[in-house]
Amino acid sequence: MNKRITIAIVLALVVAAVSPVQAGWDEGIAAFKSKNYTQAAKEFQALVQDQPEWDGGHFMLGRALSKLNRQDEALAHLRKAYDLSPNKVQYQMALGSAYLDSKRYSDSANLLSKIDASKLPASQRTKLEQALAKAYEKSGQSGQLLASLKKLAASQPKDANAQYSYGVACFNANETSNAVAALTKAVTLAPSDTRKKKALIKALTRRAGESRGAQKRSAYQQAVPLAKQLASAAPNYENSLTLGEVQLGVRDYAGAESSFRQAVSKNSSDWLSQYYLGQALTSLKKYNVAIPYLNQALKLSSTSKDQRSVWNQLGFANEKLKNYSASIEAYRKAGKSEAVARVEKNQKTASDNQAIEAENDEIQKMEAERKKLEKELAELPGGRPPR
């Protein structure tokens, strides 16, 4: 019996030590929930003055002050709550976010990285992921960011956002294969999320650019149905342009022409859609139709790199049309010396052939005139003259 009484007394003391003073607490919580943050801060301030070592009072006062954009004061109280109870995840999250708001990115990253994300509900995991990613990014800790997101993706294999964030980080770190794998999972888990589809298309397009032959074509083929879904759901400029790009990749030039015409109709002031349309038309051997779009792309492009790309395509289209002078000029401006040499050689060959053809025409003409004259002489009285 004495032992039971002793235990009861100890339990009562523990409860008393951790339980908040009701006066002011309930009022503060009610004010906070109704977004009356000024009143909430006043109630929690009184509680903190009465119980300066109670972590809950400091925590709620810090949250209320943060809502009032009194960030320095909020940070001080959130730090106090954390110091009093450093193992509480909600305190770690709140203080880490406060550091982030105060642009103390390294402090935020150091604190948030210690949180066990597996213990958080899905909504909180997403917030942690976003906050930690920003903290790592702003503090220049790209390696830590990638490792953290990789760990989170592995622990949450069915979380589309975790897979997406890891995939984007891999993409930014030029880990294309890992990016494609993670983003494919993200799209599978959230098939209606357009942001994830766009990220996967970008990763597949990069993989295509890094590959050759069958692997290159395969990457584009995986991107096509995704791009078609986006363009069908929202046929805007960006989606039409993206669809056209992957259609070019799989050599669906007719489809690409249609997509790029759609893009041009949505935004005729962007050089890229004009350039790509010129490419598609050139691939369809519609060289005369392609050239006006390429010339328009040249007018709209602003960087020397872009202009060289357009000049190169113009050189090719004019070469196919045997507009040798225009082709040589375009290739020169594109910096393609080998192409210039090739066209100059073809131009000389064509000129020589033309001269030979002209000479042959003249010979044939002279021969025809000779035969005509012989015939006329043969028809004169006395017959043909002696040779």
Confidence of residue 356 (pLDDT cuts 50, 70, 90): low
Q: What is the torsional sign of CA 323, 329, 333, 335?
A: positive
Query: Cα(193)–Cα(255) distance, rounded to whole angstroms?
Result: 25
Please state the rounded mean pLDDT for residues 54-58. Answer: 94
pLDDT of residue 198: 97
Confidence of residue 14 (pLDDT cuts 50, 70, 90): very low
Do residues 70 and 47 make contact, with C-beta atoms less than 8 angstroms apart? no
Burial class (CB in 10 A: 0-12, 13-18, 19+), 379: exposed
> Could you tell me how far CA 77 lies from the centroid of its own chain?
40
Query: Cα(65)–Cα(78) distance, rounded to whole angstroms?
Result: 10
Please say if the pLDDT value at position 318 is more than 60.
Answer: yes
pLDDT of residue 292: 97
pLDDT of residue 313: 97
Please state the rounded mean pLDDT for residues 20-41. Answer: 86
What percentage of the chain has pLDDT greater than the value 90? Answer: 68
Confidence of residue 76 (pLDDT cuts 50, 70, 90): very high
pLDDT of residue 142: 80
Confidence of residue 387 (pLDDT cuts 50, 70, 90): low
pLDDT of residue 386: 54
Instruction: Output the pTM of the full model.
Output: 0.67
Do residues 59 and 67 make contact, with C-beta atoms less than 8 angstroms apart? no
Which of 183, 180, 188 has the alpha carbon at shortest distance from 165?
Answer: 183
Please say if the pLDDT value at position 353 is more than 60.
Answer: no
Tell which wins on pLDDT, 368 or 304.
304
Which of 74, 12, 67, 10 has the alpha carbon at shortest distance from 48?
Answer: 74
φ and ψ of 211, to 5 deg: -115, 175
pLDDT of residue 362: 66
Tell which wins on pLDDT, 304 or 5.
304
Where is average pLDDT lowest: 156-170, 257-271, 360-374? Answer: 360-374
Q: Chain-wide mean pLDDT for the chain? A: 87
Within 159-282, strands assigned E span none
pLDDT tens string 136-164: 889 988 888 888 788 878 878 999 998 99
Please state the rounded mean pLDDT for residues 223-246. Answer: 96
Please say if the pLDDT value at position 332 is more than 80.
Answer: yes
Q: Could you give the dihedral angle defined by the CA atoms of residues 359, 361, 362 and 363, in that order, rounded to the nearest 10 degrees?
A: 90
Tokens coding 12: 């009562």
Domains and their CATH numbers in the chain = 235-348 (1.25.40.10)
> Residue ranges of the alpha helices (H) in 284-336?
287-300, 304-320, 324-334
Buried b (16+ CB within 10 A) or exposed e, 217-241: eebbebbbebbbbbbeeeeebebbb
pLDDT of residue 9: 33
